[in-house]
């Protein structure tokens, strides 16, 4: 099956710990995105990558880091510098014939205790 996977579905961490969220896609899409979703707010862009070995900061990149070493993978690290990391994190990708539509993974709900 083609699609986007994120793991884990739920993640709990202690304050001050770094944590890495996984995002993998087998859609052969060039572009990948990380969003954060908080109650009552629209999705906010953290980082995006349009090609392997290149990525750009989004609107709320502070306290986060990413890498894009492979086309299929775009992991997000939430560092201890992120002041309020508890949120629902969504990974998306786009490309191929349908070049403008973003497709989402199932999301990871991160809770920092």
Partner 1 sequence: GQNIDQPTEMTATEGAIVQINCTYQTSGFNGLFWYQQHAGEAPTFLSYNVLDGLEEKGRFSSFLSRSKGYSYLLLKELQMKDSASYLCAVMDSNYQLIWGAGTKLIIKP
Name the site residues for partner 1 (rule: CB under 8 A): 40-45, 48, 58, 90, 100-107, 109
CB of 33 to partner 1, least distance (A): 8
Q: Which is nearer to partner 1, 86 or 104 (CB)?
A: 104
Q: Which is nearer to partner 1, 19 or 92 (CB)?
A: 92
Q: Which of 59, 78, 75 is nearest to 67 (CA)?
A: 75
Return the residue matching tokens 């775009």: 74
CB of 4 to partner 1, least distance (A): 8
Q: Which is nearer to partner 1, 75 or 103 (CB)?
A: 103
CB of 82 to partner 1, least distance (A): 20
Q: Which is nearer to partner 1, 7 or 18 (CB)?
A: 7
Q: What is the number of other CB atoms lying within 10 angstroms of the CB of residue 2?
A: 10
CB of 77 to partner 1, least distance (A): 21
């Amino acid at each position: 099956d083609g699609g986007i996977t994120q793991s884990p579905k739920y993640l709990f961490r202690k304050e001050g710990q770094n944590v890495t969220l996984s995002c993998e896609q087998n859609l052969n899409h060039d572009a990948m995105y990380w969003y954060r979703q908080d109650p009552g707010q629209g999705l906010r862009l953290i980082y995006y990558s349009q090609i392997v070995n290149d990525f750009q900061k989004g609107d709320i990149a502070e306290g986060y880091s990413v890498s894009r070493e492979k086309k299929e993978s775009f992991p997000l690290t939430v560092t201890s510098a992120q002041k309020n990391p508890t949120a629902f994190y969504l990974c998306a990708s786009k490309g191929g014939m349908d070049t403008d539509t973003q497709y989402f993974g199932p999301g990871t709900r991160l809770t920092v205790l």
